[in-house]
Structure 1
Amino acid sequence: MVLSSYDFVIAGGGTAGLVLARRLSEDANQSVLVVEAGSDQSDNLQAKIPAFYSTLLGGEADWNFASTAQPNLVGRTIQLNQGKGLGGSSIINAQVFAPPTQAIIDSWASLGNDGWNWDSLRDFYDKSYTYPLVPNPKQNNSDQGPIQTSFPLATHPIRKAWAETFERLGYRKADDLWSNGSVGAFSSLASVDPTTWERSQAANCYYDPIKHHENIHVLCNATVEKILFREGSTEAIGLQYHHDSITKSVTARKEVIIAAGALQSPKILELSGIGNRDTLAQHGIDVIKDLPGVGEGLQDHLGVDLGFETEGMETKDAIIRQDPEAVQQAMAEYTTNRTGILTASGILTYAYMPVHTLLSHDGHQRFRTLLEENRPNGGDLEGREHAGALALYGVAEKALLDPAMPSGAYLSFLGQYPIESDPETAERTLKLLPGKHLVLLGMLSHPTSRGSVHIQSSDVFDAPVIDPNYLSNPVDIEVFAEHMLYMQSLASSSPLSELLKQPPKPSHSISHLADLEGAKEYVRVRAVSMWHPAGTCAMLPQEIGGVVDSRLKVYGVKNLRVADSSIVPVLPPGNLQSTVYAVAERAAWLIKSEYGLKSDNI
């Protein structure tokens, strides 16, 4: 039974929201309510079996958002899959549990966020997960966090070939994935339980063990409508939500915490009267706090695939084609022995890489000039917006010019990406390919382009308007194209090349990149979101567009915090999952410290 009042009320039962609920409820004297728009997917086999993550996309467990038409991606709208259900995106992602880099986390502090550096945040990464119990003297196994991780298909030949290829190229990462080293290749850690070989996610790892506790309630299929405020003030006192076709409300005795993700948290703030006053006035919403940074600063990783025909190794191609015999055999192997191709998403290897051409003197000078020419222009931006853009651009610029820092991430996928793109019209059609394929995927790690997400009306059931503004800064397409050319060369590099049909044959006819301009065109036609939106309620000083301070409190509003990917000021170079867990763990620690609540020591 949902009560009328709790100590803490959390909007969003996703990755961050359930971490907060778990940690805050550890003090038995505190009561916690989580309001989640989606349903409980705990019995959904598609959410449990690692290889089936893509079958959830576009379904009940996905918000199924899409961007506005992107002019720099030949006018395409881009699918932005985000989890809708208990556990949020942790129930639909590809289970990649990638480390950040020390330099990028330290940049958070350099932007004005005291206490948010690598030395302080590292412990919260460790607190969230358990490293696989394999012999590794360089890895700290003392911390046993809720999320269970593993190396699925540990003996698959791609792991060895990938490591040896990058080692020959001088880019092998240290055995400790969370060490200070910033560039290099490594085997990809997955949020897959090494005992059950099921997805390990926020709902089954953080919430399930404590869901019987009397001081925590989770309400599913309930849509938050707005934050409630004490009359005539900016003090948050609760939430209004829609459940069972009825509008209801709940009071928070201590705090309201927004944890709805980078595409939904700014929406809740704006619907509640917190945001740019012009945006609010446009939709007839009374202003509680004029905060222009809400919904601005959207950043996301774009990814582009290069597929090659392969032979002699296990892939997901037959599963992707839904060949009945192959699916039946794989299911039998999985259900009987918890082995086989279904234990993995298909992503087994990773690499953080610099722009290779920067290693030459001429290349370095060329990029310096490019960065200077495309620095944010104060003439096009207002003062606060310009200051924030310059600060964030400076972080990206430093990463791009340092050959010891990654500006791209590469990964491999065991199976085809069955989408054909027309090079003239960019029309995309499903084309299932025969045979076996290995996809090399490049990701733009530190985009200099920023976008926005804002409400399109005062109706809570209307999706937000999402404009990532992909590749709007010419620096991004230049860097991305350089990475794609280098990644293409990997197909001819031994021993990775020995896993491919020779000479390397692209899976799709348009995916042979002849030169830099050809690579740029391919990126524009082929790029997709990696589903890592962040930065729309940025943790930054208010004078440069911040929405929350270093304690994650919303500027000018009492008893209100935001704690999810929306506060991330600069994306880490790879997948966002591990960082969202760390942010939520630290947010819980900050709250418990402030109220003197029972807390595990860190």
Structure 2
Amino acid sequence: MAAVYDFVIIGGGTAGLVVASRLSEDPSTSVLVLEAGADLTADPRVNIPIFYAALLGSEADWKFQSSSQLGLNGRVLGLNQGKALGGSSSLNEHVFVPPFKGAIDSWEALGNPGWNWKMLKDYFAKAYSSPTVAQDAKEDLAIDGWTELNEAKGPIQTSFGNATHPIRKAWAELFRSSGQYNTGDPFTHSSVGSFSCLASIDAEGKRSNSASAYYKPAEPRKNLHVFTNSPVERILFDESKPPKAIGVQYSLDGSSRTAHAKNEVILAAGAFQSPKILQLSGVGGAELLEKHGIDVVLDLPGVGQNLQDHMISYTAFQAKDGLETKDSLVRQEPEAIGQAMQEYTATGSGPLASLGVHTYAYLPLPASDRTSLQALFTDHTPEDSHQNRASHAYHDIAKTTVFDPEQPSAAYLSAMGQANYAKDLNDGSIPAASPGKFVTLGVMLSQPLSRGSVNITSVNPEDPPIIDPGYISNPLDLEVIARHLLRVKSLALSPQLGKLLEKPLKFRDPAADFQGDLSAAKKYARENLISMWHFAGTCSMLPRERDGVVDSNLRVHGIEGLRVVDASAIPLISTANLQATVYAFAEKAADLIKEDWKRY
């Protein structure tokens, strides 16, 4: 006989373990979590920050790939997603930054009452702990201008990493000189401008993720059950009208098993797997389901649509010899690795305890660029169509983001060292690491208008879906990101960053020196933009008439007992890295579930 639980959660990742932890706080409530990957909480590749790259392409990674991207000259990109307890929080790059308030307020404007910055910022405080900082360290951290530090005391542990690195003060001085320095903690004082960023790394130099911070303290609870290496095959429904989710079918040790849910099935498998599981279960566009011979439980065309992601371009500049960077580790120099291991083992600090991403800036375009884009946005106003009823709303939000000088259309970051990655999986080659030291400036497009999709290819749960992010499919994205890329050289030439860089300025890739040519920046973008792995939107929280999948309580439209609580339900992508937003989103989801069942 199938086991019965109050709640069955599909996916033990970033969101799933948050919800499981919160629901199981009531000892009378039984919770089952089904995670497709293994428990790697003791694995040094997970715990030691710099080793995250060793997890990419490993058993802890779903190893998804994009379809050929026309907007990127046909390139195929790697789309890494966590397949382990903790999900992508077990293999991400640790960056812990908030969204800009305007992006969250747009969720409410899209038709989700109550989902706004004022509400969500309280859930950030519930999700993470702000580090304790001594008064005399604030200047080195470039947070001495903040009127106060957030006193959040949630499970996820954060830190500022290398407090003494000169990039922090140089970055703050640069943007203070242009009036774009954020004068407060960005988790409470949302503003355009620069800030020193947190990392999800604890005071001992170890990764803090949903597995270590949410699950491990709750693991002894007798009402919380977590099965690893247990991929879900489909959701089970009864024959009532409207249909009701009653359980799941999953695989364990080579055989199919079932688990029943008395209250709800909660989907938290991520932006690729959540729509895939819905489609395999008969929830999605009827045409797709019928093509694969799947009985239609509910025709819900928005499932798998509205895929969003941040694209980023990196520009590396040769740094002065005395600057601390990660380049010797990138080159895997034995002596440097040995010394770093020795320091980390002894003190939990040093080069292995941080990825070297210390600063961010949320920035608008200069006034001249905003003016030049006015006509383009007007010319590309989308027509009303049955296929994408939300397109007008998204266009208006992006237009506001680009033309309002108090909203950021891009996020800039600094990284201490060169970034090496495969630009195209068609050949899979990764550039050889360069000699010397580098400071890398990254620029990501905060509110892309391009949208993609995730669709099953067969009825076999083991087959990956077709993932088409549609990068640069909306031409406005190329126009905006190219103009931001033109700003990078001027930042590097500034006297503030110039103190850290070789003179005359030396680009690692000469093609990144555009000489002010917009067409050269566009060409570079098509050839070099890659994914930030910030996938969202494929089960969007939107009204059904806008092709939404879940309502503002995260319940799947037209189905009882089924909810989606992960990044796939986020209707509009965050401003930058998604990790912190997903934690806050899941904390809110847990409260919504508790409120609906009124047992707490």
TM over 0.5: yes
Match of 2:287 in 1: 278
Counterparts of residues 122-521 of structure 1 (less than 5 Å):
122-134=121-133, 135=135, 138-139=147-148, 141-194=150-203, 196-233=204-241, 234-311=243-320, 312-356=322-366, 359-360=367-368, 363-378=369-384, 382-383=385-386, 385-419=387-421, 428-514=429-515, 515-521=517-523
Which whole-Å CA distance do the structure 1 matches of 2:498 and 2:185 have between them?
27
Cα-to-partner distance string for 1:409-444 (whole Å, 9 max, x where unaligned): 01111111235879xx99854211111111101001
Once the two structures are TM-superposed, the CA of residue 364 in structure 1 deviates from its matched residue by 3.4
Which whole-Å CA distance do the structure 1 matches of 2:68 and 2:597 have between them?
46
Which whole-Å CA distance do the structure 1 matches of 2:279 and 2:566 have between them?
17
- The CA RMSD measured in Å over matched residues stands at 1.6
Once the two structures are TM-superposed, the CA of residue 141 in structure 1 deviates from its matched residue by 4.4
Once the two structures are TM-superposed, the CA of residue 210 in structure 1 deviates from its matched residue by 1.0
Q: CA 1:428/1:125 → structure 2, altered by over 3 Å: closer, same or farther?
A: same
Range 173-182 or range 203-212, more displaced:
173-182
Which whole-Å CA distance do the structure 1 matches of 2:155 and 2:389 have between them?
39
Partner letter of residue 484 of structure 2? H
Secondary structure at 2:343 match in 1 = helix
Cα-to-partner distance string for 1:473-509 (whole Å, 9 max, x where unaligned): 1110010001111022111011111111111101123
Range 459-468 or range 142-151, more displaced:
142-151
* TM value normalised by structure 2: 0.95
Range 317-326 or range 508-517, more displaced:
508-517
Cα-to-partner distance string for 1:221-251 (whole Å, 9 max, x where unaligned): 0110000011355110000001100000000
Structure 1 unaligned segments of length 5 or more: list them: none
2:197–2:359 CA contact under 8 A, matched in 1: yes
Which whole-Å CA distance do the structure 2 matches of 1:496 and 1:428 have between them?
31
Q: Count residues in correspondence.
A: 586
Secondary structure at 1:241 match in 2 = strand
Which whole-Å CA distance do the structure 1 matches of 2:278 and 2:155 have between them?
30
Which whole-Å CA distance do the structure 1 matches of 2:370 and 2:564 have between them?
39
Secondary structure at 1:10 match in 2 = strand
Once the two structures are TM-superposed, the CA of residue 338 in structure 1 deviates from its matched residue by 1.4
Which whole-Å CA distance do the structure 2 matches of 1:402 and 1:466 have between them?
33
Which whole-Å CA distance do the structure 1 matches of 2:488 and 2:180 have between them?
13
Q: CA 1:347/1:140 → structure 2, altered by over 3 Å: closer, same or farther?
A: closer
Once the two structures are TM-superposed, the CA of residue 58 in structure 1 deviates from its matched residue by 0.8
1:239–1:250 CA contact under 8 A, matched in 2: yes
2:417–2:438 CA contact under 8 A, matched in 1: yes
Which whole-Å CA distance do the structure 2 matches of 1:223 and 1:420 have between them?
29
Once the two structures are TM-superposed, the CA of residue 204 in structure 1 deviates from its matched residue by 0.3
Which whole-Å CA distance do the structure 2 matches of 1:427 and 1:75 have between them?
14
Which whole-Å CA distance do the structure 1 matches of 2:484 and 2:152 have between them?
36
Secondary structure at 2:235 match in 1 = strand
1:550 is the counterpart of 2:552: yes
Secondary structure at 1:449 match in 2 = coil
Partner letter of residue 376 of structure 1? P
Match of 2:91 in 1: 92
1:420–1:508 CA contact under 8 A, matched in 2: no
Cα-to-partner distance string for 1:71-111 (whole Å, 9 max, x where unaligned): 11010011111111000000111111111111111111111
Which whole-Å CA distance do the structure 1 matches of 2:85 and 2:579 have between them?
16
Alignment equivalent of 2:541, drawn from 539, 547, 556: 539
Which whole-Å CA distance do the structure 1 matches of 2:239 and 2:101 have between them?
44
Which whole-Å CA distance do the structure 1 matches of 2:277 and 2:421 have between them?
35
Which whole-Å CA distance do the structure 2 matches of 1:139 and 1:240 have between them?
50
1:539–1:552 CA contact under 8 A, matched in 2: yes
Match of 2:587 in 1: 585
Q: CA 1:427/1:265 → structure 2, altered by over 3 Å: closer, same or farther?
A: closer
Cα-to-partner distance string for 1:104-142 (whole Å, 9 max, x where unaligned): 111111111011111111111110000011158744544
Q: CA 1:10/1:139 → structure 2, altered by over 3 Å: closer, same or farther?
A: farther
Which whole-Å CA distance do the structure 2 matches of 1:535 and 1:130 have between them?
27
1:52–1:345 CA contact under 8 A, matched in 2: no
Q: CA 1:364/1:434 → structure 2, altered by over 3 Å: closer, same or farther?
A: closer
Structure 2 unaligned segments of length 5 or more: list them: 136-143
Match of 1:560 in 2: 562
Report sequence identity in percent.
Answer: 49
Match of 2:67 in 1: 68
